[in-house]
Amino acid sequence: MLTNNVRRVGLSVAVVAALTSVAACGGSDDGGNKESAGSSVAKVDPIAALVAVQKKTGQAQSARIEGDTAMGSTMSMKQAGVMDWSDGITGSMKITYTGGTMADAMKQAGGSGTMEARYFKDGYAADMGEAMSQQTGGKRWISYSYDDLEKMAGASGAALKDQMQNSTPEQGVKSLLASGDVKKVGQEDVRGVSTTHYAGTVDVAALTAKNSSLSADELDAFKKQLADAGITTETVDIWVDDNDLLVKKTERGQMKTGELNSTVYYSDYGTKVSVERPPADQTVDFAELMKQQQGAAS
């Protein structure tokens, strides 16, 4: 019989997989400034440099991604995989949850602490492990439709759907551009790559269109995204290689549930990303899972 544990863990898997994609790739993508910055200008002016980085990183369309993220008491995790953002988000990530209330719930259900998430244009699937499959007729994959999540979660679900379908690794760059607070820190090596380090602080209340590549609508959406998470200020650092491609991004801030700390590395831009849907006979749809549980409880 399906239990509340199945629902709770299913929701935890959904959130972990969703947050992993958002943390790795960031927020909304290329509705902003399409201006091209010449490399000679980019080396002198931090704003022009970041506009160039935003454009080049967006055009790269895919990359290998590795990082770790902590979101207060809710969760901490490590992620590694590949993502393609040429037409929505597709890719696969290996996620290891290392702490927090979500990780506790998943481990109590017999999870190994590591799962795989596969991302598609219309949703994503997560491998919930052998232990949980014993409660779902041997099906170890849960499939999540963005449309279903939007219906279940209301306004927040609509925002998540939009972010999951349209995010790219440019978010940290856009944060600095929106803040107008950008400074060049200096030259540093990151994992053997020569980079230029830029940094700034995003003050949600003070965000303006000045020096920003964001449209008014994008800026409002970005403000709301941070405010909903309880973030009033966020410190963003990015490291950029000689080809104007993002190599590393860190974000730090205070959330309602504690501190946000995220570090993500990007490499192998342009790598081929091919993702297969899990076998149908090993997959259960999350919306159907909820209907089954409600029927068992009634």
- What are the tens digits of pLDDT across the range 171-213? 668 777 877 778 999 999 999 999 999 998 877 656 555 545 5
Q: What is the pLDDT of residues 254-272, one digit of tens each?
A: 777 778 888 999 999 999 9
Nearest to 49 by CA among 61, 33, 34, 38: 38
Is the pLDDT reported for residue 44 higher than 60?
A: no
Q: What is the value of pTM for the model shown?
A: 0.79
Contact 128, 107 (CB under 8 A): no
Whole-number Å distance between alpha carbons of 51 and 30: 11
List the domains of the chain with CATH numbers: 4-297 (2.50.20.20)
